Structure formats: structure tokens, C-alpha cells
Chains A and B, each alone.
Chain A
Amino acid sequence: MRYVRGMQTLPSPISDWFSSKNWTVHPHQQAMLDQSDQASLLLIAPTGGGKTMAGFLPTLADLHEIPRARLHTLYISPLKALATDIKRNLRTPVDEIGMDVRIEDRTGDTSYTQRRRQRADPPHILLTTPESLALLLSYEDAPRMFDGLQRVIIDEIHALAESKRGDQLMLALSRLQSIAPDLRRVGLSATVEDPDGIARFMACHPQETTIIHADPGPDPDIAMLETDIPPPWSGGGGKYAIPAVLDQVRRHNTTLIFHNTRAQAEIFFHHLWLANEDQLPIGIHHGSLAREQRLRVEQAMVDGSLKAIVCTGSLDLGIDWGDVDLVIQVGAPKNVKRLVQRIGRANHQYNAPSKALLVPANRFEIVECKAALDAVYAHDLDGDPRPPGPRDVLCQHILACAAAGPFDAETLYGEVTTAGPYADLSPEAFEKCLNFCATGGYALRAYDRYQRLVFRDEQWTLRDPRAAAQIRMNLGTIIDTETLKVRLKNRGGGTPLGEIEEGFAATLTPGDTFLIGGQIVRYEGLKEMTVEVTRNPSDTPKIATFMGTKFATSTQLSDRIMEIFQQPSWPNLPEHTASWLALQRDRSKLPEPDRLLIEAFPHDGRAHTCVYGFAGRNAQQTLGLLLTQRMEQQGLDPLGFVATDYATLIWGLSPLTDPEPLFDPQNLREGLETWLAGNAVMKRTFRNSAIIGGLIDRMTVGKRKSGRQATFSSDILYDTLRKYDPDHLMLDITREEAMKGLVDFSRIEDMARRRGGSIDLYTLDRVSPLAAPLFLEAGRVPVKGRAEERLLEEAAQNLMETAGLDQIEPAPKRWAVPF
């Protein structure tokens, strides 16, 4: 029996199983059953709402009604661990109901034999990741495997939609839909600000997605943590709050303590243990730790043997940890949506309020936390509209299609534009990507003999079929940063502790100490691309610069902060913060939403300029680079700057008197073009896009280990392209990606548009209260130019002196030729 619209009853063995557990079907689970015929269905439900079961119930009902031998449902999750977890959680009910259903997962960890068998004889339900699906679709036999596929369930779709993995997945679904036209799509999402956006993202265009909203449950019980001492003026980490945090940990079963960065999590964890007189069992979990370490902490959590876990975004998704009854967020949340999703991790029972505490790391963050609290209670989530699908991912998709077999360009274009992110892709843009995949897309036609794709019998096909293996090896949109493994040095090879960035490792000299996995270790040396360390309990560490994204404060949250500034007084803020703001209003002015406040004041013999752009950390950083460049041209001799989420502080020799021309949008954009040229951010962005787009190979660890000179840096390719082929597609993509990523230029332009016309320049005789904390910020950027050469000369001189080599012969004088 096929389901028709209307109230559906579950087949009796399944409903009996529900009754035997004393469970009832949630209304949204029922709705998912009732609507299971929809081509595209999106469920928005809070954490703990039985989302996954809601997704699978129609599959189980289907398979019960019409037992079949083929693949019925494909389940996609962003995490391998989640796929494994679901397999276990689904196995139990299926066995207890007594259904004969094969459930298997397929990830990078699945064995070769198992993977081969799955392609020949797929299970009923296959659990996998976007990358594994893309790989499956790149084989010639994909149509045989997926023919007749009925449903695809995309779990945590809100998380996938935030990155290129989502774009890749939607392109894969467009392919799947052609192979299996009856395929129905189901998306499972946490609470998001724009359900329609996700609905458009996942639909098979021009069809639409039906959205089902589960009961959002009661409002969370959330507040700022009260401490005896006020937070410091600047910095992150929240070390001051450790006694109060420990007190909360003692009073709850299990507490998750979230941090915004890995480095902060490490430092906090270190100090937490120093203060942990009761020896409460507390663990640490973040993405830089060795897998073994993480698994141990995860297992301890499942066993309930930990009182608290200090963690980062690595615990944001999915896996059910059970007994968490308190979430503490250290540092302002930067983004309300992420905060709400994190809070959802506490109290995994539906219909019980989640409990959470915010710990502002400094004085300014008190205002930020207050703004976030207001937003949570107003159900005002933030987020930027999803930009159109990136073209590097499209290039990869075209190559993957070619690996599966010859294709017709027009058919593929039609298929690609059914995917939400590419629905508005122009035929010309597609043509350019196809041309890039086929010929390299260079202004100089150099590869006529060695095209990657050739046009043969009205179809595009690989010139050399062996290229398919190389294309498959490069699939995926996650680009690893170059990291080195850290191990304890001992006889048996050493315990793995985690990973650090290669750049950080290279700055270490034997004897240096840093924090990893909550312990201080001493750098001993590098052996076969592994960092060897010993334990060193007594020292104060040098801090590891873990990768780990620093999120910028969202536009919505910035606007709320600005609103708080406009209040006549601040009875809801702690006294020390309220009087700080009042003092700022008295001495200078508080920033206003539609005006741009700039303060100019002398300090320590230097002219200082503070620009309150409220554009988020990345944009304020870019603004600092652009403004200092312009100021250099104006002869103001800027020396350096520092940026936070809300302001950029610049220091130099001469004071700023006329800010208007600096913020002229056209001047800003011109400055950006010049500055972008040799910029490291651009080079990094180029590398990522070049790997995704198939211009260069993903480096495998084994290859890098051999360390031969055969490979060369992608920076060289970037410089060469800029010099000889500045309009090349890859540079165009790089510019587009950098603008929305680390450069975040759109927020600068937005700021210039909203406020640039009405600039308030306040010339003060000393530092203003609001600017004062900026002087304590880390991450000061010197204004470059010839600085690098000067530093190098200095370093070279030091090295020669240290080595005693300068005594052997006098340092040669440098001279400029003409010969």
C-alpha cells in the first residue's frame, strides 16, 4: 500500500513497538508520516525532539509494507561518528520490531571489501557522508546502485548548509534525482533563523519544499553567570570566573563548558585544573586533539564518569551525550543561532527547558552577552542569506560526472540548476566552468593536445580514462590545514597528543613549552614530520596557536549592542559596566546605529585613531589594512593597528583630521584591489579553491612526508596567474571567496553605505573609556612595506653572531650594481 495524504497509521508491529516502550508518536513525527509523499520535506525541530526517528519512520513503514531487495533510503550526516551512532540506534528498534532490514554505514573508515560489496549489493538503508556519496556517484556503476532509491534523509542539514559541503551535497542530489526520479528528499534541521532558506537550498528546483515545524519546546533557562569579581577590561578566556564555574559544576550532573577557540579552551582547562581542589573529573575535547584522546573523553561521557567537559565547536553537533544538565558558554557567543543550538545540548529531554549560563570574558562582552540574552528571549536568530553556490565546487562536480562517464553539457546544465545553490547559475557561468575543466581555461591556448575533457560523439568525456582515479582522489571540499602530529617522546613511539599547525611548529626551538590536551609539554624536536615533546608540569607555557576559526560577531548581534548603547541608562547591566558606558557618553559619545564614530586622541607620544565600525573581527581587520594604506598615502605615517569585533585602533605619527575621503566606497574598493594582490589570505583562499576545482592535487600525507622538491607551492601558481592571466576563472573565484570569507569586505561596504555619509570625528585630549580596552588587545599588526626585509636582515645578523660566523669574516657590504 502506498501512502496517500491524510492521517497515516503506522503498521501495527511498529505502533506496537512504540506502545511496548510506553512511547507515543510526537505530532511532528506523525506529520512527517502524513507528508511522506512530498518530493521535498524539511523538519525543523529543537535538539532532543526525536528528529532522526521522525526521519526514519516513513522508511520503516514503507519497508514493512513492501519488503524489497534494493536500496531504499540513503541517510547523510555531516559526521562519520553520527552515521555510526545512528546505525546502532536504528538497529535496536528494527530488531525488536522483527523486520528484516539491512542497515550499513559507509565512510572513509569502511573497509575496501565492504565498500566493494556495498556497490554490488547495497543494503536497504545506507548511512553515509556527503564526501562518500560524491565518491559513489563518480563510479560508472552509480546508476545501477541507486536506481529505484526512494528516500534520502539529510541530518543536521543546517550545519551542512553553512559550508561548501552543502553545495557539493546538493549537486550530488541533482545527480541522484536523475538516476532515481521518484526520489523524495527529507531534511532534518535544528532551529534556524531562515527555514525558507534551507527549504530553497534542499529543494529539487523548480519544485518546492514543505516545512514542518516541531513544537519548539519551552524557552531555555539562560542567564549571565554572576561572579564576585568583575571581568577584566579586555582579552578572552574567562579565567576570572573559574571559582564560580567550578561551583556550578559541583551543583550539576554534567556540565558542558563551551569556548570559542581551541587555544582558549586549553588555557581555561589548565587553570581549571589548578583550581580544582576537589579533583572533580573534568575532561577536554576539541578538534586538535588526537582521535584516541577524543574517543576516551567521549566514552567517559557516555559512561557518565565526567562532571564537566571543556570543549569547542567539535561538540556542537549531533551525538547524544545523555546526562548534560548545564551548558556554560565562556566568551560572548558571537552568534545567537549557534548559542541556541549549543544550549539545546543541555537537557536532552523534549519539553524540559535547557539550562545555560553565559560568562563574558571582558567588560565589553557583558554588553554583548546581554544583547545575546535579549535575542534568545525574543527568538531573534541571526544569519546571513546563503550566497549562490561557489563555482569551484561546480568544477569538481563536472569532473566527478566525467569520471562516471561521458555526459551531454546541456543535460548536465539542466541537472545542476535543479540544485538550490545553483538554481540561478547562468549558462555562460556553467560554460566557463566546463571550459576550465576541459582545457584549463587559459587565455593562452596551450593544452589542445592534452585537454582533460574532450568533445567526442556529441559528448564530453575524459581524454585519458586513467584520470578518473585522480579525480576521485581529489573529491571533497574540506581542505586540511597543514598540521603536524604531536607525540610524547619515549621508547614505544609515544602517545599521540594531537596536532599543531606546521607554521607554529616551525617557530619552536627545543626547550619551548606549550599547552596541548590540558598539559604543558616541552618541545624536543621534529622527527619524521612528528613533533616530539616531553611532559613539563612546572613551567608557564608558551601558547599553541591552534587553528580553529575565530567567529566574527553577527550583524544582528552588533545591531543589538548598538541599541543597548542608545538606552538613557542601564539598570539591567552590572554597576561597573553601566558606569563605564556613562563615562564614555560623558567624555566622548556612544556609537550610534546609522552614524560612524571615530575618535582621535594622543597617547604615549603617538596619534591614535579609533574607528567604531561594529563590522565584526574579520572586516575590522581588513578595514585596518585598508585605512593604514590610505593613511600612508596621506603622509600620516601609520605604525600599526589592532582590530576587535567592534573597532579598529590605529596608531601613527600624525593625527587624522579629515576622515571623509577614507571612507569613500570607491576609494575603499580601489584600496582593496591593490592590497589583495600579494595578500596571504588570497593565497590561502586560492589554494583551497584550486584544490576543490581540480587545478592542483590534494596533498596526501604520504607524499608530503617524502619531502622531495618535486612539489611546489600553490602561491607560485597564484602569482603567475595574476601576472599573465588576471581574468582567469580561478582568480575570479578566489576573489569572490575571499570577499565573503576572511576579508569580509561586504560588511565594510555595508558599513560605509549605512554610516559613511555621517561620520562623527571626536578629537579628544586623551584615551576614551570605550577605546581603553583596545590597548590591551593581543594581535597587533605592524604596518608592513619594507618591514619584512628589515626583520630578515636583523635576524640574519643575530644568527651569524650567535653562530660566531661573523667573526670568521667581516659581514659583506651590500652594493647595488650596474655592472
Chain B
Amino acid sequence: MNILPFIFCGVPLSALPTGALFWQTHRILVVSDLHLGKSERIARRSGQMLPPYETTDTLGRLEDAINATDPTTVICLGDSFDDLEAGRTLSETHVAWVTRLMAGRRWIWIEGNHDPGPLEFGGTHLASFTQDQIVFRHIASESSEPEISGHYHPKAEIPLRGRLLSRPCFLFDERKLILPAFGTYTGGLRSSSPELSGLMSVQAKAILTGPSPCVVPMPR
């Protein structure tokens, strides 16, 4: 697995090819926007029946990331479940799978806008969490403290010899780091969109996910 180390707010971090973040010093693995149970929620709400395999796929990739890094702490940065009902109706197999992943390590569920309430899973449920002055929350804030968040599902587009390559990406500047969505059924918001361009400073960079993650100036 190709892992890209980078420095954020003086702290050495690593970007994994699948969009997970690893903080080696504290052995913390961070993933954002898993959106587990998304196909179930879509079927419930709109009657559309998408291939019901995204929870299996997302958990499979999360397990890979855990196996590769062996973290003592896992932080899910919010929108872990597509809604609270999706969290409650997760199949027995998937519940057992999540429980197995949680076993033997600290697990922190940060609340997201899709899953604002408490969940029936173990672990710690928090609105935000702080480690070494770095705050972990779902949506980037206006404050001046160093912060790691998710929510926006950033993606970056790069022209490659007449073709356009589009990949989910990390965005970071002097203060903020935004993670790509880890869930299988998640779309992306272009880094050039007004929301993200407005949020990030002129120095911002993007780390494209994929077999070999790489850094580019954030496309605006």
C-alpha cells in the first residue's frame, strides 16, 4: 500500500490510498462519511433499489485500513450512518462485523448531520474530540484552532493530456484538514466549488486518493 506522509499544523500525518488518515504518533486512524446503510435509506425514502452491497464494501475497506495500520484509536468523523434509522436497521452480519472491528481499541463516533443522535453501538459518542490541540469534528468551523473534519466529500479534477481525472481528495491549508468521504456510495463536491474555495486559504493543497496518493495545489 502506498501511503503519503505530509505535515499538517506541524504534525506528521499519513494519507491512505482509500481516503483514511493515520496519525502514527498516537496510532489514530480517522475515516469520515461512511454513510453505512445508504441503499436501505434510499429505498425507504424514494423506492429506488440500488445494489445493496455498499455497507459490505465500505466495512471491507475499513477492515483493510485497520489491518494495515493496527490503530489503538479509530475516529469516525460523522455521517457514519446514512441516517439513524439506517443505523438501527443494519443487518445482523454488519452489526457483528462493526463490533468485531471495534473490539480491543478505543472507538469514537463523532456526530454528523446525517446521524446526530446516539447510536446503539458501543464506543464513545461525541460532538467533537481534541488531541494535541487538534479538534476533530464533522463540519469545518469558523474558529482559529487546528481542525480535522469531513462532511464536504471533496474531490479534485486534474486535466491529464486531454482527459479529465477526477478523484476524491484530502484538502488542507494552514489550519484545516478536510477528509474525503470513505463510504462506497458517496459522491464528491469539486474543490473548485464556491463552498470549498471559500473555505480553504490560497495556500491550500489537495491530496488525491488512488493507488499512489499525490499532492497538488488545490484546484480552484
Contacts and interface: CB of A to CB of B under 8 A. Distances in A.
Interface string B38-58: 011001101111111110110
A447 B52 contact: yes
A25 B190 CA distance: 63
A710 B151 CA distance: 11
B104 interface: no
Given A440-B52, A709-B152, A815 B210 contact: no
Given A503-B163, A712-B185, A795-B158, A814 B4 contact: yes
Contact of A707 (B50, B161, B163, B189): B189
A451 B185 CA distance: 20
B152 to A, nearest CB: 7
Given A709-B153, A789-B211, A812-B6, A444 B52 contact: yes
B40 A446 contact: yes
B208 interface: yes
Interface in B1-32: 1-7, 22, 24
Interface residues of B, number: 56
Residues of A in contact with B, size category:
35 or more
A792 B160 contact: yes
A811 B162 CA distance: 26
A507 B159 contact: yes
Contacts of A800: 215-217
Contacts of B189: 707-709
A796 interface: yes
A709 B208 CA distance: 17
Given A503-B164, A805-B205, A712 B187 contact: yes
Contact of A444 (B22, B47, B53): B53
A712 to B, nearest CB: 3
Interface string A478-506: 00000000000000000000000001001
Given A812-B215, A814-B212, A507 B3 contact: no
B103 interface: no
A815 B3 contact: yes
Contact of A695 (B50, B54, B157, B164): B50
B69 interface: yes
Contacts of B188: 709, 712
A710 B186 CA distance: 7
Interface in A541-575: none
A228 to B, nearest CB: 36
Contacts, number: 150
B160 A720 contact: no
B158 A799 contact: yes
Interface in A696-746: 696-697, 707-713, 716-717, 720-721, 723-725, 728
A812 B70 CA distance: 23
Interface stretch (A73-81, A341-349, A462-470, A577-585): A462-470
A709 B49 CA distance: 20
Interface in A793-819: 793, 795-796, 799-800, 803, 805, 809, 811-812, 814-819
Contacts of B46: 467, 470
B205 to A, nearest CB: 7
A819 B184 contact: no
A696 B48 contact: yes
A507 B158 CA distance: 8
Contacts of A723: 53, 57
B158 to A, nearest CB: 6
A709 B5 CA distance: 27
A29 to B, nearest CB: 50
Point out which of A439, A789, A819 has the most chain B C-beta atoms below 10 A from its C-beta.
A819
A816 B187 contact: no
A452 B48 CA distance: 7
Given A450-B44, A720-B53, A819 B68 contact: yes
Nearest to A819: B69
B187 A792 contact: no
Interface in A441-465: 442, 444, 446-447, 449-452, 463-464
B47 A463 contact: yes
Contacts of A805: 205, 217
B201 interface: no
Contacts of A274: none
A792 B158 contact: yes
A384 interface: no
Nearest to B49: A440
Interface in A774-801: 788-789, 791-793, 795-796, 799-800
B101 interface: no
Contacts of A463: 47
A440 B163 CA distance: 34
B164 A507 contact: yes
A709 B39 CA distance: 16
Interface string B172-200: 00000000010011111110010000000
Contacts of B215: 796, 800, 811-812
A724 B163 contact: no
B76 to A, nearest CB: 18
Point out which of B2, B3, B44, B51 has the most chain A C-beta atoms below 10 A from its C-beta.
B51
B43 A447 contact: yes
The 10 closest A-B pairs by CB, nearest first: A440-B49, A712-B187, A446-B52, A450-B43, A724-B53, A709-B153, A709-B189, A803-B217, A506-B164, A796-B214
Interface of B: 1-7, 22, 24, 39-40, 43-44, 46-54, 56-57, 68-70, 152-153, 157-165, 181, 184-190, 193, 205, 208, 210-212, 214-217
Given A696-B50, A792-B210, A819-B70, 6 more contacts: A440-B43, A697-B48, A709-B188, A712-B187, A723-B53, A819-B68
11 contacts: A450-B43, A695-B48, A712-B185, A712-B186, A720-B51, A720-B54, A724-B56, A788-B160, A789-B210, A795-B158, A814-B212
